[in-house]
């Protein structure tokens, strides 16, 4: 879901549509993952080109649990009509998958949903009759985190020096999106010390593409957005400067709260992959920066620095 680009949410159900605890199923049975089809380098399906970090991770996870790996590809937008956390809830509640990969571990994205019902997002194999069908929602819980979404300093060839804090943005041609969290943080920093160096653009425009033309030296943006841009534009001159804000949220797997046994097994397998270096190798393979999760596992209310 495009929601990975901002501080978002997601979720799920039980009832007459509830999932049977997946671990109770026989070894060798299908283990189905819901993955976004247009979210490189996390997960993607472009014709016959299929892959991504979450794709590789999920496939290995299924193998370690002795289950058959299956994927339900989906896509969603984050607007007034399409609410990512409710659509994710519906995917789980309609039993289209057992687990959703790359799920934001945010308090508001977990638990139940006051709406009670919601429709499915666009997904592979969708029937016309499903487009407006409402599914009863249940309660979403999550695995331990295995990655972290962060805001990062992205620089162009015109920037010289190292970036160790927002102070190092001073004196450069800063670019920021209007009315976004990174833009607000840049404007608030050190009582507005960066305002005079900053050019503001609409979020509807492609900030990174504009920077790639040489019109800016540095910006603060979601690291995943930059890595997706780099995936689509391998010749880009932009690069990750190595600095990230302390502010961020962890990513893990989402499941219904009836899948406690499955999540217990998932957590054990994730710990094993962290210990043997598999997580890192999947990140390297997909040209993705793996960020270590931070405590608490689940982020509560956002508090600006």
Residue-wise pLDDT for 123-134, tens only, equals 998 888 878 899
pLDDT mean over 159-183: 95
How would residue 288 be classed by pLDDT, with cut points 50, 70 and 90?
A: very high
- For the chain, give the DSSP string: -GGGGSS-------STTPPPPGGGSPTTSEEEEEEETEETTTEEEETTEEE-HHHHHHHHHHHHTT-EEEEEEEE---SSS--HHHHHHHHHHTTS-SEEEEEE-BGGGSB--TT-EEPPPEETT--GGGTT--EE---EEE----EEEEEEEEE-TT--S--SSGGGGTTS-EEEETTSHHHHHHHHGGGTTTGGGEEEE-TTS-HHHHIIIII-SEEEEEHHHHHHHHHH-TT---EEEEEEEEEEEEEEEEEETT-HHHHHHHHHHHHHHHHTTHHHHHHHHTT-------SSSSB-S----
Residue 297: the pLDDT is 97
- pLDDT in the model for residue 204: 86
Please determine, for residue 10, whether its predicted confidence score (pLDDT) is greater than 90: no
pTM: 0.88
Categorize the per-residue pLDDT at 136 as very low, low, confident or very high, splitting at 50, 70 and 90: very high
Given the structure tokens 């049975």, which residue do they identify? 29
Q: pLDDT tens-digit profile of 81-108?
A: 778 999 999 999 999 999 999 999 999 9
28: confidence class by pLDDT, cuts 50, 70, 90: low
Query: What pLDDT score does 78 carry?
Result: 62
| pLDDT on residue 129 | 81
Determine the pLDDT at residue 80. Answer: 63
217-275, pLDDT tens digit by residue? 999 999 999 999 999 999 999 999 999 999 999 999 999 999 999 999 999 999 999 99
Which pLDDT value is given to residue 305?
Answer: 66
Q: Is residue 203 predicted with pLDDT exceeding 50?
A: yes
């Amino acid at each position: 879901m495009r929601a990975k680009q901002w501080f978002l949410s997601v979720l799920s159900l039980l009832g007459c549509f509830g999932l049977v605890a997946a671990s109770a199923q026989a070894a060798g049975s299908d283990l189905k993952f819901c993955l976004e089809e247009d979210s490189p380098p996390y997960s993607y399906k472009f014709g016959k080109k299929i892959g991504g970090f979450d794709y590789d991770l999920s496939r290995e996870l299924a193998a370690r649990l002795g289950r058959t790996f299956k994927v339900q590809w989906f896509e969603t937008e984050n607007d007034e009509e399409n609410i990512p956390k409710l659509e994710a809830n519906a995917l789980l509640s309609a039993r289209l998958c057992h687990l959703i990969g790359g799920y934001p571990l945010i308090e508001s994205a977990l638990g139940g949903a006051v709406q009670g019902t919601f429709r499915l997002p666009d997904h592979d194999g969708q029937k016309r009759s499903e487009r407006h069908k409402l599914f009863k929602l249940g309660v979403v819980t999550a695995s331990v985190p295995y990655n972290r979404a962060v805001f990062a300093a992205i620089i162009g060839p015109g920037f010289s020096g190292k970036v160790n804090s927002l102070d190092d943005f001073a004196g450069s041609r800063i670019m920021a999106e209007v009315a976004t969290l990174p833009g607000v943080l840049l404007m608030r920093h050190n009582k507005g010390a960066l305002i005079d160096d900053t050019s503001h653009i609409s979020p509807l425009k492609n900030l990174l593409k504009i920077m790639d033309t040489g019109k800016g030296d540095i910006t603060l943006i979601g690291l995943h957005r930059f890595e997706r841009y780099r995936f689509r534009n391998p010749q880009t001159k932009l690069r990750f400067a190595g600095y990230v804000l302390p502010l961020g949220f962890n990513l893990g797997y989402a499941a219904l709260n009836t899948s406690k046994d499955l999540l217990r097994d998932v957590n054990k397998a994730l710990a094993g992959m962290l210990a043997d270096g598999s997580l890192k190798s999947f990140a390297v393979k997909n040209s993705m920066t793996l960020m270590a999760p931070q405590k608490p596992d689940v982020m509560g209310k956002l508090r600006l620095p």
